[in-house]
Amino acid sequence: MATKLGHKVIAPHETKQELRNEEFDTLIFSHVLEHLTPDQHPAILRDYLPYLKVGGLVVVRIPQRAGFNSDDDHRFFWTDGLMEEFLLGHGLSITKSGSFPFPEFFGGFFKYNEWFFVATKS
């Protein structure tokens, strides 16, 4: 869809050689980080942040408890506090975060409730 709208999209399987001269406005990690083990988490930001423009956005979406429990492929349960620490620890400034589409309470039984974060590269 994004390419049909005229946006350049680089998928994870594409090599760093293809990315070497790229600079992006936004990195989106939508329902990705919960599929990685904790030892894989630092590398994903470390590998992609250099391609993000200063002032660019990192957008993260992760499931709350019911959504996490609904998929056997999920490897790590993120709380909102853990994600905030993770993003801040990579030098990003969180500009917006919250529970979507309902308040956090619903995340215990509604599997589509999620945390979202928008962070900026300084």
Which pLDDT belongs to residue 17? Answer: 63
SS3 88: helix
Would you state the torsion angle of the CA atoms of residues 37, 79, 44, 54, taken in this order, to the nearest 10 degrees?
-170
Which pLDDT belongs to residue 64? Answer: 98
Which pLDDT belongs to residue 90? Answer: 95
Rounded average pLDDT per 10-residue block, the chain, 122 residues: 79 65 89 95 89 96 98 96 96 97 97 98 94
Which pLDDT belongs to residue 12? Answer: 65
**What's the pTM value of the predicted model, to 2 decimals?**
0.86
Q: Identify the burial level of 36 via C-beta atoms within 10 angstroms of its C-beta, where 0-12 means exposed, 13-18 middle and 19 or more buried.
A: middle
Question: What is the fold of 23-121?
Answer: Rossmann fold (3.40.50)
CB atoms within 10 A of CB 79: 13
97: tokens are: 């975060």
